[in-house]
Amino acid sequence: MAQQTDIKYLTPIAVDIRKKKYCRFKKSGIKYIDYKDGEFLKRFVNEQGRILPRRLTGTSLKFQKKVAQAVKRARHLALLPFVTDNLKSNQ
């Protein structure tokens, strides 16, 4: 029994302590997401202009729906692209 606890690993076990994701809208008390603010909406969009999933941004379901709605409206008004490359590097 004592020998089992003596096992030594060549590389330390990766125990990554991740910060818990949170919904930024809930935290900061934003209730309405504006479709006219293209620069802000770019945070919820990847380099190709696709909407980022909740599992990456940590947005709550309630606000993810609103974000998606706002992004789609912004796209219609040509404030955001439907598809591009290197959206973020252009900034």
Partner 1 sequence: MEKKQIIKKYEDKENCIKKKCIFAAQNYNQIYKQKQSTIMLNHYETVFIMTPVLSDEQMKETVKKFENFLLEKGAEIVHQENWGLRKLEYPIAKKTSGFYHLFEFKAEGSVVKEYELQYRRDEKIMRYLTVALDKHAIAYSEKRRNLRKEKEATKEQ
CA-CA distances (angstroms) from residue 50 to 41, 53, 80, 84, 90? 11, 9, 10, 9, 16
Which CB atom, from 20 or from 31, has the smaller least distance to partner 1? 31
| Distance, CA of 45 to CA of 61 (rounded, Å) | 16
Nearest approach, Cβ of 32 to partner 1 (angstroms)? 4
| Distance, CA of 75 to CA of 81 (rounded, Å) | 6
Q: Rounded to an integer, what is the distance from CA 50 to the centroid of its chain? A: 11
Nearest approach, Cβ of 62 to partner 1 (angstroms)? 12
Which CB atom, from 21 or from 34, has the smaller least distance to partner 1? 34
Nearest approach, Cβ of 22 to partner 1 (angstroms)? 20
Which CB atom, from 36 or from 50, has the smaller least distance to partner 1? 36
Residues within the interface to partner 1 (CB under 8 A): 31-32, 34-36, 38, 73, 75-82, 84
